[in-house]
Amino acid sequence: MQGKVYLKIYDKVYKIILFIILFCYNSSSFLVRIKMLTTLFLNKNQKLVKKWEKEHEQIVVLATEVIGEYSKHNHDNAKKALKKLNKLAVDHVMNEDIEFYRLLKDQKRLTVKSENLIREFTKTFKDTKMALMNFLTQYTREDVVLDDEFFKTFTDIVSVLGERIEFEEKNLYSLLYSKG
């Protein structure tokens, strides 16, 4: 009986390896396809972390664009980038809040350390998140001009966000990615 079980497992592993070889053979984008295949085997927490890290990169790019355009006195382009940043930041924060809530409700997906870190993060980030949302809501309105007060406050917020992103990725995300 055990021999048949091992034979079935061997057969499935063989088919997976064969699929991978055939899928990647003669491909000019071999590494891209390998990366695509590896993401198929990520658990839900790992997929969330990958998504959130990518959004963090986009947030940094947009914040840099806002600063660059404002510094060049191109306030129209700065406002456009700010609006994109607003949408992305709101979506990102809302999604994180929802997923953190789900994670806390589904104890099987978390270690005690992960659970405590999520609780600490959501509690300590609450004020920064509200300040960011209020700021973006105010300055993405059509009738509001981007002025020196905007720029000073924005650079301060970006600095704080950079620190939060670094903390989040090094502590919370790495823990969720590796252990759940």
Local confidence pLDDT in tens for the 180 residues of the chain: 555 555 556 556 555 665 555 555 555 555 555 455 444 555 777 888 889 999 999 999 999 999 999 999 999 999 999 999 999 999 998 988 888 777 777 767 677 887 888 888 888 888 888 888 999 999 999 999 999 999 999 999 999 888 888 888 887 777 777 755
Q: Are residues 72 and 138 in the same domain?
A: yes
> What is the model's pLDDT at position 82?
97
Q: How many domains does the chain have?
A: 2
Q: Are residues 29 and 99 in the same domain?
A: no
The two tokens of residue 154 are 């924005």
Q: Are residues 85 and 16 in the same domain?
A: no
> What is the model's pLDDT at position 15?
57
Task: Calculate the alpha carbon distances from 97 to 41, 48, 64, 130 in Å.
Answer: 25, 12, 25, 13
Q: Are residues 136 and 84 in the same domain?
A: yes
> What is the model's pLDDT at position 43?
74
> What is the model's pLDDT at position 38?
47
> What is the model's pLDDT at position 30?
54
Q: Are residues 92 and 9 in the same domain?
A: no
Q: Determine the structural domain holding residue 13 and report its residue range.
A: 2-36
Q: Are residues 88 and 157 in the same domain?
A: yes
How far apart (Å, rounded) are the C-alpha atoms in residues 45 and 48? Answer: 5
**Contacts of residue 92, Cβ cutoff 8 Å, sequence gap at least 6:** 52, 55, 56, 59
Angle (CA) 24 47 160, round 5°: 125
Q: Are residues 53 and 11 in the same domain?
A: no
Q: Are residues 79 and 155 in the same domain?
A: yes
